[in-house]
A = this chain, B = another copy of it.
Amino acid sequence: MSQTASIKDVANHAQVAVGTVSNVLNYPDRVSQRTKERVLKSIAELGFVRNDAARQLRAGQSRTIGLIVLDVGNPFFSSVARAAEDAATALGSVVLVGDSGQDASREAHYMDLFQEQRVQGLLISPVGDVSARIDTLRERGVPTVLVDELADTDRCSSVSVDDQEGGYLAARHLLDLGRRRLAFVGTPSIRQVSSRLEGAQRAVAEVPDATIEVLDSAGQTVLAGRQVGNALVERDPGERPEAVFCSNDLLALGVMQSLTMLRTLRIPDDIALIGYDDIDFAISAVVPLSSIRQPTEALGRTAIELLAEEQESNGTKHRTVVFTPELVVRQSTAGSPN
């Protein structure tokens, strides 16, 4: 009683064979009412709990799905993760979340871990180049779905949002306000960020005299944004951009903190500011933050769907889903004269 009872203990206690106990658990219809009751009673009395490791070992696969995100502290990813968890739960699976923190070695660590766990499948927002590993995984029967990243081959499924389009929407919006000297804040070494930058540059190229400078931030966090903001504040007023596009809302909130610290600088009048992701906190910022909204729930849900399709087709059928982002205008870019 002190240690955990096994199925064998239950069988002894209920005076049946182990196979019968297993049947009660997995195929109740195969067992007669009388024995079923007896077995269930024994299970309750002994406090028997299935040993998942043994189950998995026999089954050769776990009921677990691995999810590797770039930063769980970022509401964008926690929202995606939540949606994926809900969708997986409905299918009787569990989602294991790993946080790579945009570090390729941590990413590799989680991939190793998930492989040892024999996960059903892997959802990943990659940091480094993981295509080789994904190929290996597929060979081994572990389907993978890229999340928030477009599959560049037709060898795996992916669900993403059109980052170029999002970047274009943001920059276009700033240009429509009449701003010409734009700045982009982010770490372009991240694929999503560089795509957003490309989109922004495309918009800028469409407008004569418009320019965009790139301010490389040390990460994609509020803190990194604050640092960039401080650098902007220290510039000569004439050297400051008229509008700033941050590659995510955390950065934008950080920039906003710095800019508003200097009481003479007004948002959006002196500098218009737009972020990306439209996290819940964007609306309640000092100056409610304009942003580009991404359908996080759809991303998470679809990722699980695609994984299920991969499994059903034994990893032969791949699909690519691309959502379109949406501009959300708030006060931080509210109509200044044009």
Contacts and interface: CB of A to CB of B under 8 A. Distances in A.
Interface in A52-103: 52-54, 56-57, 62, 72-73, 75, 78-79, 81-82, 85, 94, 96-97, 99
A141 interface: yes
Q: How large is the interface on A (under 10, 10 to 19, 20 to 34, 35 or more residues)?
A: 35 or more
A62 B57 CA distance: 13
A2 B142 CA distance: 11
Interface stretch (A32-40, A111-119, A179-187, A305-313): A111-119
A47 interface: yes
A334 interface: no
Given A72-B78, A82-B73, A253-B281, A117 B57 contact: no
Contact of A281 (B81, B99, B141, B281): B281
A30 interface: no
Interface stretch (A11-19, A230-238, A282-290, A316-324): A282-290
A116 B284 contact: no
A287 B286 CA distance: 6
Interface string A110-133: 001101111000000000000000
Contacts of A263: none
Given A51-B118, A53-B53, A94-B113, 9 more contacts: A1-B139, A2-B141, A3-B140, A4-B141, A49-B116, A53-B118, A222-B284, A281-B281, A281-B284
Interface of A: 1-4, 47, 49-54, 56-57, 62, 72-73, 75, 78-79, 81-82, 85, 94, 96-97, 99, 112-113, 115-118, 136, 139-141, 222, 253-254, 256-257, 280-281, 283-288
6 contacts: A47-B136, A49-B115, A53-B62, A78-B78, A253-B284, A286-B288
